[in-house]
A = this chain, B = another copy of it.
Amino acid sequence: MPVVDAAAFEARKRAFVERLEREALQGRVDEDILPLLRLLNTHPRIYTTSSCSGRIMVAEAVRPSFSKGRGFRPVAKWHHPVPPDLVREVVSNVEYAWLMVRGAILHVAAADAKTAYKLVEIGRETGHKHSGIIAMNRAGIFVEILGEERLDIPIKRGSPIADIDAAMDLANKTLILAKLRLYWLAARLEAELFGVEAPTSEEIRRAIRRVAQCLG
């Protein structure tokens, strides 16, 4: 088994933290997740590599998988809810269009197995069901934390095949719930890795269910 090397870990961490701050200055980092990434990077046994707070995307593709890089073309991306008219406009020039929502995804490197495993546990506890250790090498043990919110709506195949107002209503609500799940994750990470006082998972889960009911 490859074992994490302290010098390799530190060197890679420095490079990733510098990249994050450079991209933040350029306004290229998703603001809904930047504070959490910065906090995680203050932990001596952790650094973040690439992450997204959740997004709505319109893509041109016959189908989303087995075509990435071959006829899969992202047309527009937003990290926040968007009005249906904007999506209608974006879709008007595309022949095959998918409306996709993806929940948060975080990639975090840990210096040791115990820390990596803790990250996986917190991910799974907060409903990021497909979290796991995905790779390990001298520079770290790499954890993916992946939210379960997801939506794939084929909205155009030559002619329109979905009601864009109804689709966007769902897409926007799905994204809002994905963001709430991310804040749940952030609260538990703050509590368990940094000793910050935070609501319990049960309290947060109840609060999110109330929002979900209000959204209808």
Contacts and interface: CB of A to CB of B under 8 A. Distances in A.
A117 B136 contact: yes
A31 B175 CA distance: 36
Contact of A162 (B66, B146, B153): B153
A163 B167 CA distance: 12
A67 B163 contact: no
Interface string A78-122: 000000000000000000000000000000000001100100100
Interface stretch (A19-27, A43-51, A126-134, A191-199): A126-134
Interface residues of A, number: 45
A120 B162 CA distance: 36
A201 to B, nearest CB: 14
A148 to B, nearest CB: 5
Given A65-B127, A150-B152, 9 more contacts: A1-B114, A63-B173, A65-B174, A124-B134, A131-B132, A150-B150, A151-B152, A151-B154, A161-B166
